[in-house]
Amino acid sequence: MQQPNIVFIMSDDHAAHAMSCYGSGINQTPNIDRIAQNGVLLDNCFCTNSICAPSRAVILTGKHTHLNGVRTLDDRFDGRQETVAKIMQRNNYQTAVFGKWHLGEGGHSSPTGFDEWVVLPGQGDYHDPLMLSPQGERVYEGYVTDIVTDLSLQWLEQRDKERPFMLMCHHKAPHRWWEPDEKHMHMYEDEDIPLPDTLHDDYSHRSEAAKRARMRISSDFMYRDLKLVPPAGYEGTDFIYVPQDLTGFSLCPVGGEPVTFTDQESVVEWLYQRYIKDYLRCVAAIDDNVGRILDYLEENNLAENTVVMYTSDQGFFLGDHGWYDKRFMYEESLRMPLVVQYPKEIPAGTSSDAMVLNLDFAQTFLDYAGLPAPEDMQGRSLRDVFRGQTVADWRTSMYYRYWMHLSHHNVAAHYGIRTQRYKLIYYYGESLNTSGSIDSATAPEWELFDLAADPQEMRNVYHEPEYAEARAALTSELERLKAEALDSE
Ligand code: CA
């Protein structure tokens, strides 16, 4: 059997609802759509912990974050552990990773299992980024999304053409601070992007955790996020200040003219436009560069025998629920985009609603390579799902856990379960922590959403009597999943 090549393209914080193949109403992604047209689109791909470093560690190890050691952004990845890259490297594959690593660098956290790597330190910069490699560090002139692709294509060009390869092309974009390149800087200038339905969400009928989160478009952006000049008297401050009384108040873009407002809703909508346009401009550069990779594979007769996957480390709130950022188990943040082409095996233009996870990726790569997966990997190969086969005992529920209690953006730690119809979330507050006492701000609470009746998750039905039966069944299934995931905390 000829082992297929694998090209894994992953961006950072690119939500599925900003991809036209997922029905985005706000942008076009013609090149990412090409992958879907050539292969399969996954409607229900979810991450097990919606944040950058943990998702990356799950993808490399095929293990939940409590077992691979990267539960939070503060944990460094221990590269001495087994990863899919190491197994592929030991078994005839040429391996490389370029771009965002974000699992710590230096010592045991530098990439392992890769013949070649050039990665950004931490989040990295959009323009003229410093990058690290086994040879040391150097500044690359240009725009980061182009550079990551240039490095990928150069590596493909100089590889040993007799052996299969696994390329991990990891874009930094469209992560905060959303800095577009010159080519896309003026997109959307003379138009308004449609507002999300839930932009003015007031969090009634929801948990205290939702109300408490500090990721609101209305009050939690920094001047830097939206490229605004802090007004007189606010120089040196980070967060955009919007007074209740808007008389004499204005916001001023860098290099622009001050803008005044008549009411609070118009401020929020203006801030949303500033945010989403830069986000989508960064996405447009990714899409162009996905096209460059696909073109290269086609022009070099590699498309037929190469599995190409495009995904993002998690989803993102694009003004949904009045928010930016991620972390919550809510749909926009939980869902990962995933499109895959492999013409030899995957029928073109198909889709699947099977519930698949980032936890499954490692075993999927190994399956394509014809290699057995280690027993302690916790996912499942997606190969049969991708080729449209019905897998009789496929999962009908998934386990999620976010660990950073009231840390970044004041989001409470939580774990939960999602099924095709329901989502049950437990914000466990301080009850599971050994330090600190329980107070009202961190008391445990539950949320239950009926996704069939309420796909936007606007109404917590946990305490409603007609959901008592569903609640009991889900609570029991959640405990089973938690145990199965070997999460004993
Ligand atoms: Ca991310």
Q: What is the CATH number of domain 399-484?
A: 3.30.1120.10
With a cut of 70, say whether residue 189 has pLDDT above it: yes
pLDDT in tens, 402-417: 999 888 999 999 999 9
What average pLDDT does the chain have? 95
Task: With H, G, I as helix, E, B as strand and everything else as coil, classify residue 366.
Answer: helix
Q: What is the DSSP string of 386-400?
A: HTTPPPTT--SEEEE
Amino acid making up residue 293: I
Q: Map out the domains of the chain as residue ranges.
A: 5-180+280-390, 399-484
User: Distance, CA 75 to ligand 1 centroid (Å)?
Assistant: 15
User: Distance, CA 175 to ligand 1 centroid (Å)?
Assistant: 7
User: Distance, CA 74 to ligand 1 centroid (Å)?
Assistant: 14
Q: List all residues 6 or more positions away from 378 whose beta carbon is below 8 Å from its beta carbon.
A: 62, 63, 64, 67, 359, 485, 486
User: Distance, CA 20 to ligand 1 centroid (Å)?
Assistant: 20
User: Distance, CA 171 to ligand 1 centroid (Å)?
Assistant: 10
User: Distance, CA 405 to ligand 1 centroid (Å)?
Assistant: 18
User: Distance, CA 248 to ligand 1 centroid (Å)?
Assistant: 38
With a cut of 60, say whether residue 440 has pLDDT above it: no
User: Distance, CA 335 to ligand 1 centroid (Å)?
Assistant: 12
Q: Distance between CA 452 and CA 43 in Å, rounded?
A: 15
pLDDT tier for residue 432 given thresholds of 50, 70 and 90? very low
pLDDT tier for residue 469 given thresholds of 50, 70 and 90? very high
Region 13-30: what's the mean pLDDT?
A: 98
Q: At what angle do helices 30-38 and 264-299 cross, to 10 degrees?
A: 50
User: Distance, CA 275 to ligand 1 centroid (Å)?
Assistant: 17
pLDDT in tens, 277-304: 999 999 999 999 999 999 999 999 999 9
pTM tops 0.95: yes
pLDDT in tens, 191-207: 999 999 999 999 999 99
DSSP annotation of 425: E
User: Distance, CA 17 to ligand 1 centroid (Å)?
Assistant: 15
Q: Distance between CA 359 and CA 58 in Å, rounded?
A: 6
CB-CB contact of 130 with 139 (8 Å): yes
Hey, what CATH class is 5-180+280-390 in?
alpha beta
User: Distance, CA 327 to ligand 1 centroid (Å)?
Assistant: 10
User: Distance, CA 314 to ligand 1 centroid (Å)?
Assistant: 6
User: Distance, CA 178 to ligand 1 centroid (Å)?
Assistant: 13
CA 261 to chain centroid, in Å, comes to: 34
With a cut of 80, say whether residue 439 has pLDDT above it: no
Which among 255, 287, 297 is positioned nearest to 183, based on CA atoms? 287
pLDDT in tens, 128-170: 999 999 999 999 999 999 999 999 999 999 999 999 999 999 9
Q: Distance between CA 339 and CA 29 in Å, rounded?
A: 12
User: Distance, CA 11 to ligand 1 centroid (Å)?
Assistant: 8
User: Distance, CA 12 to ligand 1 centroid (Å)?
Assistant: 4
User: Distance, CA 257 to ligand 1 centroid (Å)?
Assistant: 33
User: Distance, CA 368 to ligand 1 centroid (Å)?
Assistant: 26
User: Distance, CA 14 to ligand 1 centroid (Å)?
Assistant: 8
Sign of CA dihedral 388, 391, 397, 403: negative
Q: Distance between CA 351 and CA 388 in Å, rounded?
A: 8
User: Distance, CA 283 to ligand 1 centroid (Å)?
Assistant: 14
Tell me which of 459 and 430 has the higher pLDDT.
459
Pick the range with the lowest mean pLDDT from 67-76, 316-325, 368-377, 431-440. 431-440
User: Distance, CA 114 to ligand 1 centroid (Å)?
Assistant: 22
